[in-house]
Structure 1
Amino acid sequence: MSNTTDNVMTTTTTSSVGNSIPPNHTLYVNNLNGKIKKQQLRKSLYNLFVSYGRVIGIIAMKGVKMRGQAFIVFDDIQNSTTALRSLQGLMFYGKPMHLSYAKRDSDAIRFSKEQIAEKTAALAATSQPEPKQRKEKPRIPPPPSQPPPDRALHEQHIALMNSEEVNRTANAIAAAEAELQELPLRDRTRRIQSVIAAQTTLVGTAVPMMTEVQTNSTLFATNLPNETTREALEMLFRQFSGYCDVRLVPGREGIAFIDFDNEGGAASAKDALNGFKISATNAMSVTFAKK
């Protein structure tokens, strides 16, 4: 403490000494406003001197005799020299600052380098605004990919359409249409209306109307040819993930239930096969089964 006090008093009383002291890292500052609190004074000095280079320590005196004095420690002599020349006589809290090189670095720095670095880092942290945190945008998962079409299944479907049962049904439809063409217009209209009414009654009694239902793992297929087999439907639906089983309804032709072990696989099958022409005259309707 005595060495520091002797250094401060010598530098303060003799202006010629400041000129004879060789440049070094540490500046001695006096004639500071003694009414400023120590913490505020150190913060203000840091903000002032840091623009000339990296400040690694600020030591402000706390005693009555040492009030109004401070040491500024730079990491580079060139930076301390630039600050001395630029800030000499600057009005600081209403008083002109007096700057000179400290007599010896060892007399000015009372703390170890580790202590100075720790205190200065804390001072710098209180003088700089905290960086804004960048908000991350929510990641949108990609849509699930559908399985590629099964070429073997496509060939099996073509074979089914060319089968004897399908051809027999197509010939019967063609014969019925030819018969209608031979009828007079009035009789033809009545015949068509009676057929439509009979079909509507049959569908209404045999197959309940399906209402809009929520997604689930069971599908309901309608408008199937009467000769549709379980094996034919299985070839269509087993290409989709999670397929479990096909259930035909005994005594009710043209409908079937298809079970999956997950809703995703059922939804993929529904989107792909709804409206699929399972025969030349039947476009299959696929919906979610009502639970």
Structure 2
Amino acid sequence: MSAPPTGANPSVYAPPTAFNIPQSALSTPVIPPPTPKQSPCTTPNNTIYINNLNEKIKLPALRKALSTIFEQYGEILDIIVQDNFRMRGQAFVVFKEQESAINAIKGVQGFALQGKPMVIQYARTKSDAIAIIDGSIEEHKRQRLEAKEKRAKEPPTKKFKSSSNSSLHPGSSNIPGASMYHFGHQVPALGNIPDEYLPPNNILFLQNMPNDITQLILTSLFGQYSGFKEVRSIHPAKGIAFVEFDSEPQAMMAKEALSNHLIAPDHKLKITYAKK
């Protein structure tokens, strides 16, 4: 059973089984939180922003889990979780009192929900629920609309285009941007395919490894994660390898934990899903 968050009442805290989270998740190792892309918001707010949530948790179960954990710190006005790509792995919890938000961050920061420690900070903007209470909802909506219109005027993000060389044969990897094939697995062209365009599966494709990497090192690194099966098709000279897990969720856990792992000086491990 997972320990309750610091500062929570153990008699009230419900174990993950109450959240309809699979039992297998209880035995998975805790995955270190990611390095923040920007400095956290430290200005106290009634609303807290949570990221690094496990994206495999269904929204109803996630909302219930967050409610059970955070209601111990005060009255909750709203819990915002969305199923769109931009909001995956994130949530907002709106408290009636600011003191509740302050205590919740202190008490729950780093608490692992289904193997991933929550990263919590104050929200950068006021929530609708609070704007309604303090009478500023109209101004709040106006500012939000202006921000939306400003984003719409920004240059669109360049979309990924697949290679037109779809008839390439194995061994044709000397062509710039072409795919390589190793032991039946298609290797995406290096630096060409963003992670989000690769569908999850149980085999991970590793890149940017030192040329003295060994199978033993990778086995020790990935073997600590549940479902690890084997290291396959390692090519030290190319700095690539494949690692197989029993299931897609287990591979996803390891990928999220070890992406950008400093496997050697000047070598941050790049991990994507293998193309089958």
TM-score of the alignment, normalized to the shorter chain, above 0.5: no
Return the TM-score normalized by structure 1: 0.32
Higher relative contact order, structure no. (Cα contacts within 8 Å, ≥ 6 residues apart): 2
Return the TM-score normalized by structure 2: 0.33
**More helix by proportion, 1 or 2?**
1
